[in-house]
Amino acid sequence: MTDIGATLREARMRARIDVSEIEAQTKIRAKYLRALENEEWDLLPGPTFVRSFLRTYAQALGLDDKAIVDEYRLRYEAPSEVEHQPIVASSRQTGRRGSPVGGGRPSRGYAVAVGTICLLIVLLLVGLLSKKGGGTPQKQAGTVSTTTAQTRPRTSTAKSNSGVASTGAVVSLSLRPSAAVYVCLIDASGRKLIPGAIIQPSYTPVTYHSRRFEITLGNNAVTMYVDGKLRTVPASASAIGYTVTSAGRKTLPSSKQPTCK
């Protein structure tokens, strides 16, 4: 066969195509195209690029690209280990070891690799099934724990209903004045519900809810309703203070009475 470079060059010249036109068509730089025509393989990036450039250049010129690439491999590329394998197989098929055509056994390494992959798949499936099967007891245990936690408040509530008060229970409080009275009312969060104001008999009662109230009254002209139960205020020459919880109403000393200031 004619030299590869000469074949390319003659085809291009017969078609009256300039290298720059081939460069624009194939996107292969002109210096690489000239290197192909001059068979200056050292100027090209490597054998892989050479084969790709040869194939593209040959197709652009309407030549047999496979034949040109095969010729390059035969002349300039050293046979690789992979390329030797078909030759060995061919020698076996010809009867050197008595193996029939197409009847060669898989290599030992291939068999080991396949066996290893199968084993890994089996182990993965077993692991997934075990994990799936073990999830139910854990879920049940979590359910039991949650149920137990949920029953605890109920027990506490039952105790408070039987007379043992819970410090976290919410209590309701409303006031009904019979005459003008100074009131400072603060809930458990420190919020001033009645911020040191004088309420009159025309005052519309409001029912407040909190875990704890602190209240200062200017006089006893008011009736308190704690959880709906009436609580009167005894007469006093000074301000009267209480702390109110679900456990009941407790008198506050003057030093601890809220002032709403």
List pLDDT tens digits, range 34-65: 999 999 999 998 899 999 999 999 999 999 99
172 within 8 A of 208, measured Cβ to Cβ: yes
Angstrom CA distances, 41 to 26, 46, 200, stand at 19, 8, 109
**Are β-strands 181-187 and 192-199 bridged in parallel, bridged antiparallel, or unpaired?**
antiparallel
The secondary structure element, H or E, covering residue 261 is none
Can you give the pLDDT at residue 76? 87
Residue 88 pLDDT more than 90? no
DSSP string, 91-106: HHHTTSS-PPTT-PPP
Q: Of the candidates 211, 224, 212, which has an alpha carbon nearest to the alpha carbon of residue 183?
A: 224
pLDDT value of position 142 = 45
Segment 94-148, tens digit of pLDDT: 444 444 444 456 667 777 788 889 888 988 887 777 766 555 444 444 443 444 4
Instruction: pLDDT band for 175, please (50, 70, 90 cuts).
Output: confident
Q: Which string of b and e fits 110-122 if b means at least 16 CB within 10 Å?
A: eeeeeeeeeeeee
pLDDT at 243 over 70: yes
User: How much is the mean pLDDT over the chain?
Assistant: 79
Domain 4-81 class, CATH top level: mainly alpha
pTM for this predicted structure: 0.38
Q: How large a percentage of the chain has pLDDT more than 90? A: 50
- Spatial CB neighbours of 72, under 8 Å, sequence gap ≥ 6: 4, 50, 51, 54
Sheet with strand 229-232: strands edge to edge: 208-210, 171-177, 222-226, 229-232
